[in-house]
Amino acid sequence: MLREINFDGIVGPSHNYAGLSFGNVASMGHAGEVSEPRAAALQGVDKMRANLALGLAQGVFLPPQRPHRGWLGRLGTTIEQAEPALAANAMSASAMWAANAATVSPAPDTSDRKCHLTPANLRTMPHRSHEWRSTLGQLLIAFRDGAHFQVHAPVPHAFGDEGAANHMRLAAAHGESGLEIFVYGISGGGFPARQHVEASKAVARLHLLDPERTVFAQQSEEAIAAGAFHNDVVAVANERVLFAHEQAFADKQPLLDMAQAKVPGFEYVEVAAADVPLADAVKSYLFNAQLVTPPDGEMTLIVPAEVKATESVWRWIERHVAGNGPIRRVEVVDVRQSMANGGGPACLRLRVVADPATIDPRFLVDEAKLDRIADVIRRTWPEQIAHDELQSPALIAEIESARAALLNALGLAELIQG
């Protein structure tokens, strides 16, 4: 049976605050701080436990090799010798934000009735531009069942692709044919627009989507300028509901008209700028929530703790839940370590609609497996990383052996070079 499975990126042992993401206000604001990789990874595990407790299906992606020695080699250097800025780009744990791992089109949307996955090239930021090899390697293993999945290579690097963070899907139910929405940027004021329309169109073609059920919508320049470097910072969709900030799109009307025409029961929940200014939406990550439908049918918004701490946002939530809106329940999770780098609950997961029985079980988790993962993290992940120790040989050895311990515990030692 087709179900939505959330694949979370396990926070890697090199998680640090190097301020690498220009245009991401959290990453820029926390640059140079001491990070807590162990706490960060355990926060991620607890979020997955909360998803399981709601009755949702859960998967994981594994942290890639860091430092990325092969990437530094192609730049003619090593982690020991690289300039500090380059070394930081090879040490980032940014693959944790699995929403940027790939774009996924489930089988009911594609003309060959396979689920298509295309890893994002993430070419805008150097530290993210070398994630795709490891992502592709994992996708080729997890979704190797060729009768049900088609895994593509990333779109050529001339065009920026940031994956599911700029992609939404509306459907009467997950297993039914849907409307796929690709959100691209053209300008972001002083900040870069990361998703190019050429990349979005390429993914839609590769995924064999029906042009009548595909929309390309421009992200508003003001949203990117306010720090919404990805669309999933200002909008999220689940089944027949689109939840977005008033200023998310350059021109929302064609998108809403199409959704109205193609999605039975379509409902648009808009948050007005007068109630929640764009700055509060970006600071709290209200829209970087997981909007999910647990088996009890009560549509649930899984928000970061920062939502509760932002007055205008929490007031809006309380009013919505007390009224007749489609979001019936709100769950608060603590992912502070990830949030400080601009990654909320929705950034940490990639949604795949598929039959779990067709996926390599090593990438699926239950409570017992999460216990095993948490145990490895508690024993091996560094407690803290200061920005100036990123090239310390002792730290690097600790990070490499921590990752190896996790891969071994999950029977995925074949990923060691990836």
Asked if residues 105 and 180 have their Cβ atoms less than 8 Å apart, the reply is yes
347 is catalytic: yes
Q: Which is nearer to ligand SUG, 235 or 407 (CB)?
A: 235
**Main-chain phi, psi angles of 317, to 5 degrees:** -60, -45
Which residue among 6, 14, 51, 100 contacts ligand SUG (CB under 6 A)? 100
CA dihedral 73, 380, 5, 131 (to 10 degrees): -10
Q: What is the DSSP letter of 107?
A: G
Applying CB under 6 A, the span of 92-100, 101-109, 321-329, 360-368 interacting with ligand SUG comes to 92-100
Widest pairwise Cα distance in the chain: 60
Of 7, 71, 97, 243, the one binding ligand SUG by CB under 6 A: 97
Q: Is 347 in the site for ligand SUG (CB under 6 A)?
A: yes
The 3-state secondary structure of 108-139 reads: HHECCCCEEEEECCCCCCHHHHCCHHHHHHHH
24 makes contact with ligand SUG (CB under 6 A): yes
Mask for 325-344, x = binds ligand SUG (CB under 6 A):
----------------xxx-
Per the residue annotation, which of 162, 180, 331, 398 is the catalytic one?
162
Q: Under the criterion CB under 6 A, does residue 27 sit at the interface with ligand SUG?
A: yes
Q: How many residues bind ligand SUG (CB under 6 A)?
A: 23
Contacts for 29 with CB less than 8 Å, ≥ 6 apart: none
User: x/- string (CB under 6 A) for ligand SUG, residues 214-233?
Assistant: ---------------xx-xx
Nearer to ligand SUG, 19 or 263 (CB): 19
Structure tokens at 223: 């949203």
Q: Which two tokens stand for residue 344?
A: 């909320």
Q: Which C-beta is closer to ligand SUG: that of 21 or that of 138?
A: 21
The reply to whether 180 belongs to the active site is no
Distances in Å between the Cα of 47 and the Cα atoms of 121, 152, 302, 404 are 27, 29, 9, 23
Q: How many CB atoms lie within 10 A of CB 269?
A: 14
- Which position among 20, 179, 303, 340 is part of the footprint of ligand SUG (CB under 6 A)? 20
Is there a catalytic annotation at residue 230? yes
Please list every residue from 122 through 181 that binds ligand SUG, using CB under 6 A: 125, 128, 165
Of the residues 130, 230, 245, 320, which is catalytic?
A: 230
- x/- letters, 294..313, toward ligand SUG (CB under 6 A): --------------------
| 89 interacts with ligand SUG by CB under 6 A | no
| CA dist., res. 91 & res. 72, Å (int) | 10
In terms of CB distance, is 226 or 412 closer to ligand SUG? 226
Q: What is d(CA 43, CA 61) in angstroms, rounded to the nearest whole number? A: 15
Among 6, 14, 21, 103, binds ligand SUG (CB under 6 A): 21
Say what angle helices 367-380 and 393-409 make with each other, to 10 degrees.
160
Strand partners, 244: 235, 270
Quote the CA–CA distance of 388 and 251 in Å, as a whole number: 44
Residue 34 near residue 385, CB atoms below 8 Å: yes
* Residue 36 within binding range of ligand SUG, rule CB under 6 A: no
Residue 330 and residue 300 in contact, taking contact as beta carbons nearer than 8 Å: yes
Nearer to ligand SUG, 21 or 150 (CB): 21
Q: Nearer to ligand SUG by C-beta: 44 or 362?
A: 44
> Which residue, 40 or 165, is less far from ligand SUG as judged by CB?
165
What is the three-class DSSP state of 152? coil
Q: Which residues are the active-site residues?
A: 162, 230, 347
Q: List contacts with ligand SUG (CB under 6 A).
A: 17-21, 24, 27, 92, 94, 97, 99-100, 125, 128, 165, 229-230, 232-233, 341-343, 347
